[in-house]
Amino acid sequence: MPELPEVETVRRLIEPDVVGRTVVDAVARWQRTVGGSAGRFRAALVGARIERVRRRAKFLVFELSRSGGCGGAILCHLRMTGRLYVRNQGEAEDPHDRALLDLDDGRRLHFLDVRKFGRFEHVADPAARLDGLGPEPLGDAFTAEWFAAALKARRRQLKPLLLDQSFVAGLGNIYVDESLHRAGLHPLTQSDRVSTVRARRLQTEIRATLAEAIEREGSSFDRFYQTPAGQPGGYQHQFQVYGRDGQPCSSCGATIVKLVVGQRGTHICRRCQPTPRPR
DNA sequence: AGCTACTCCTGGTAGC
DNA sequence: TGCTACCAGGAGTAGC
């Protein structure tokens, strides 16, 4: 499922195709995807010019302008199966395309989403919607000092805490499992019991994991994620634990096991990530 | 405050 | 072979 590295890859590849373009038509094929009626979606977007595409956590923000006022933005979240790609107008649609933008150069931006969990919606004030998100894990605010103190200030299991977008914004199931393994921490460890040294290690490993994944254009472990260029990512070949249950840990040789933590499939090496003491 | 359960969805697959 | 039942999972929400 797309997480920060996949979303950043999509942003980089889609940006040159859409920046500077004006929307000449906007079609919604599934109402919930666009957060309102197809008519309102179209009215809000036709005539708007795409100024830039930035990423905040797992959101893509298409900043818009229009003559005589503020154009708001498109907030796009890929969730599980969302995908963006560009084709020429008149080319075949995919049956799973949920929203389409015709641009003034004859190209068309497709938002495809098999499971319909994703969003591609126009909002007047994107800042208000992104307000509650925690720091970007690759940003300047995500320091080892801040992270160690933030873990101490909470009393939550590490895995659900790291998945909480209001705590740190952009991590998902894959990169949390990978980062915890690299830091030698069990996902059920209570956050305030992580030593400062371990917290610093985890901060380092989160950043390294994400940076390496971006470098390889994300992870494609199933058929869902591919880049806008139609290519799979390459980071799935680097997985140490995710999806590797039953296989040996590349660090110690113990068998990777899968558990459920907070309703999420969770992959660990019991030897590298010792079970925390209860109480 | 933090946990669990439920919802939204569909394609794939396990089980019979 | 063909059917059904179940599962994955990010994020929002409700309830305890």
Q: What is the DSSP string of A45-99?
A: HTT-EEEEEEEETTEEEEEEEETTEEEEEEEEE-TTTEEEEEEETTSPPPTTEEE
For residue A279, what pLDDT band results from cuts at 50, 70 and 90?
A: low
Detail the DSSP E strand segments found in chain A: 23-28, 49-56, 59-66, 69-77, 82-88, 97-103, 107-113, 119-123, 256-261, 264-269
Has A264 been annotated as catalytic? yes
User: Does residue A58 approach strand C to less than 7 Å at its CB?
Assistant: yes
Whether A163 CB is under 7 Å from strand C: yes
Sign of CA dihedral A109, A138, A174, A128: negative
Q: What percent of chain A has pLDDT over 70?
A: 98
pLDDT in tens, A178-224: 999 999 999 999 999 999 999 999 999 999 999 999 999 888 766 56
Which residues, including other chains, have CB under 8 Å from residue A270's CB and lie 6 or more apart?
Answer: A254, A257
- From CA A239, how far away is CA A209, in angstroms rounded? 10
Which positions on chain B have an atom < 7 Å from some protein CB?
1-6, 8-12
Rounded CA-CA distance A124/A141 in Å is 27
What gap in Å lies between CA A199 and CA A239, rounded to an integer?
21
User: In which band, very low, low, confident or very high, does the pLDDT at A226 lie, cut at 50, 70 and 90?
Assistant: confident
CA(A268)–C1'(B2) in Å?
23
What does the alpha-carbon distance between residue A175 and residue A4 come to, in Å, rounded to a whole number? 9
Q: Which of A79, A264, A270, A276 is catalytic?
A: A264
Short-list A186, A184, A160, A188, CA closest to A173: A160
Strand C closer than 7 Å to the CB of A248?
Answer: no
Dihedral sign (CA A262, A263, A269, A274): positive
Would the Cβ of A116 be found within 7 angstroms of any atom in strand B? yes
How many angstroms separate the Cα of A8 from the Cα of each of A106, A213, A260?
25, 10, 28
- Give yes or no for CB of A80 within 7 Å of strand C: yes
- Is A98 a known active-site residue? no
A21-35 pLDDT, tens digit per residue, is 999 999 999 999 999
- Verify if strand B has an atom below 7 Å from the CB of A115: yes
At position A141, the amino acid (one-letter code) is: A
Tell me, what amino acid is at A159?
Answer: K
Name the pTM for this structure.
Answer: 0.94
List A21, A55, A58, A108, catalytic entry: A58
A248 is catalytic: no
* A91, amino acid identity: E
Among A4-13, A218-227, A254-263, the least confident range? A218-227
Between A65 and A229, name the one with better pLDDT: A65
